[in-house]
């Protein structure tokens, strides 16, 4: 009798826990796409984040995978698919690969490569002006940010590392200078 009770308690708790994780999944943020961030992050006053990103290699990172050279790198790595379809390449060259399609909103386009939400987190819950203006609220809604240059460097190196088949030494200060997109002091 006692054993049966324990077993049913265990089964019941598993059932409950799985309900919980379903609920949590429902709250997961969706990727909205760079087009949604763009209107508020392109003026001189805001710091032209859109323009800086568009001119950076990050915006080309998916396109790079569509070259013959990329395909031969993928093949050498043992992938049976073209580079632009290989999860082991997409993981560093874009956002959204392998993500449940329900979490990708219409304007989101994987072809935009390493984009705003790759580095700042999926934006559905923080993209509204009232949330964005308040850093605390934005962070609670899923905006990711790093507190100092040391943390930023560590973050860059989650992709700029030796797992990259074409790895080149990552000199943080130089590279950060190329893509930095601060909000001008006056706008704050
Ligand atoms: C409706 C306008 C609007 C949209 C859409 C928007 N933002 Fe913002 N965002 C703002 C404003 C305003 C601030 C505050 C800027 C400041 O510091 O003056 C901000 C701040 C930020 C910050 C800096 C937070 C901090 O203080 O460190 C990041 C990062 C950011 N936005 C990323 C994004 C991303 C990524 C998207 C798209 C998913 C996005 N934003 C969409 C208006 C917007
Ligand atoms: C999600 C993975 C990822 C993260 C995170 C990432 N990068 Fe990159 N980065 C790439 C990829 C992929 C390329 C190559 C794009 C191409 O050439 O098509 C690249 C290219 C670059 C380039 C262009 C090469 C050059 O030196 O001119 C710079 C600069 C750069 N990254 C800086 C940074 C910095 C600074 C950070 C951290 C703030 C960072 N990256 C974070 C994936 C990433
Ligand atoms: C760990 C993250 C990571 C993975 C995994 C990754 N890349 Fe990259 N890739 C990068 C970064 C970062 C750069 C930018 C190189 C730099 O400037 O340091 C890059 C640059 C490139 C370039 C342009 C540079 C060149 O020399 O032509 C090609 C092509 C490329 N990657 C192909 C691939 C292919 C194909 C795969 C899958 C087999 C792949 N990458 C997997 C991070 C990654
Ligand atoms: C390769 C990663 C990467 C990409 C792509 C990227 N950012 Fe950032 N962004 C950062 C980092 C790192 C910082 C420094 C603070 C932090 O960690 O959040 C930053 C800071 C910011 C800030 C705050 C600047 C300040 O002065 O406080 C804004 C606003 C912002 N990004 C918006 C955007 C928007 C909009 C896009 C797309 C058009 C974008 N970012 C693309 C990595 C990235």
User: pLDDT tens for residues 106-123?
Assistant: 999 999 999 999 999 999
pLDDT tens, position by position, 48-91: 999 999 999 999 999 999 999 999 999 999 999 999 999 999 99
Sequence-separated contacts (24+) of 163-167 with Cβ below 8 Å? 163/92, 164/92, 165/73, 165/76, 165/77, 166/73
- Has residue 19 got a pLDDT over 90? no
Q: What is the domain range of residue 34?
A: 28-187
Q: Which atom of ligand 3 is nearest to the CA of 77?
A: 38
Cβ partners under 8 Å of residue 94, min gap 6: 61, 62, 110, 111, 112, 113, 114, 115, 118
- Has residue 37 got a pLDDT over 70? yes
Compute the distance from residue 111 Cα to the ligand 1 centre, in Å: 22
Sequence-separated contacts (24+) of 172-181 with Cβ below 8 Å? 176/149, 176/152, 178/56, 179/52, 179/53, 179/56, 179/58, 180/52, 181/47, 181/48, 181/49, 181/52, 181/53
Maximum Cα–Cα distance across the chain: 73
Nearest CA, atom 31, ligand 3: 166
Q: Is the CB of 92 under 6 A from ligand 2?
A: yes
pLDDT at res. 158: 98
pLDDT at res. 161: 98
Q: Is the CB of 146 under 6 A from ligand 4?
A: yes
The answer to whether position 101 is within a domain reads: yes
pLDDT at res. 94: 97
Query: Distance between CA atoms of 3 and 60, rounded to whole angstroms?
Result: 60
**Which has more confidence, 60 or 27?**
60
Domain count, the chain: 1
pLDDT at res. 185: 86
Nearest to 137 by CA among 146, 127, 147: 127
pLDDT at res. 38: 98
- Confidence grade of residue 10 (pLDDT, cut at 50, 70, 90): low
pLDDT at res. 9: 57
- Confidence grade of residue 3 (pLDDT, cut at 50, 70, 90): low
Compute the distance from residue 91 Cα to the ligand 3 centre, in Å: 10
Q: Is the CB of 175 under 6 A from ligand 2?
A: yes
For ligand 3, which residues put their CB under 6 angstroms from it? 64-65, 69-70, 73-74, 77, 79, 83, 86, 88-89, 91-93, 159-161, 163-166, 168
The answer to whether position 12 is within a domain reads: no
Q: To which residue do tokens 């002006």 refer?
A: 129
- Confidence grade of residue 170 (pLDDT, cut at 50, 70, 90): very high
- Confidence grade of residue 23 (pLDDT, cut at 50, 70, 90): very low
The arithmetic mean of pLDDT across residues 17-27, rounded, is 49
Nearest CA, atom 38, ligand 4: 50
Cβ partners under 8 Å of residue 29, min gap 6: 103, 121, 122, 123, 124, 125, 126, 141, 142
Hey, what are 60's tokens? 């080309």
CA angle 51–104–139, rounded 5-degree value: 65
The answer to whether position 150 is within a domain reads: yes
The answer to whether position 41 is within a domain reads: yes
The answer to whether position 176 is within a domain reads: yes
The CATH number linked to 36 is 1.10.1130.10
The answer to whether position 14 is within a domain reads: no
Report the mean per-residue pLDDT for the chain.
90
Q: Is the CB of 47 under 6 A from ligand 1?
A: no
Please answer whether residues 112 and 59 qualify as being in contact, where contact means their C-beta atoms are separated by less than 8 angstroms: yes
pLDDT tens, position by position, 145-168: 999 999 999 999 999 999 999 999
The answer to whether position 23 is within a domain reads: no
């Amino acid at each position: 009798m006692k054993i049966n009770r324990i077993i049913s308690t265990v089964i019941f708790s598993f059932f409950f826990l799985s309900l919980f994780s379903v609920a949590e999944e429902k709250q997961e943020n969706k990727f909205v796409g760079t087009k949604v961030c763009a209107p508020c992050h392109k003026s001189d006053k805001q710091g032209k984040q859109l323009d800086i990103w568009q001119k950076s290699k990050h915006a080309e990172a998916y396109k790079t995978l569509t070259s013959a050279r990329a395909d031969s790198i993928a093949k050498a790595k043992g992938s049976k698919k073209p580079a632009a379809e290989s999860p082991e390449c997409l993981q560093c060259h874009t956002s959204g690969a392998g993500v449940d399609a329900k979490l990708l909103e219409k304007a989101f386009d994987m072809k935009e490569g390493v984009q705003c939400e790759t580095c700042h987190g999926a934006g559905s819950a923080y993209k509204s002006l009232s949330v964005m203006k308040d850093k605390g609220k934005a962070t609670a809604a899923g905006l990711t940010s790093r507190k100092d240059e040391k943390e930023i460097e560590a973050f860059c190196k989650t992709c700029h590392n030796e797992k990259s088949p074409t790895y080149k030494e990552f000199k943080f200060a130089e590279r950060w200078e190329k893509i930095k997109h601060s909000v001008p002091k006056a706008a704050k």
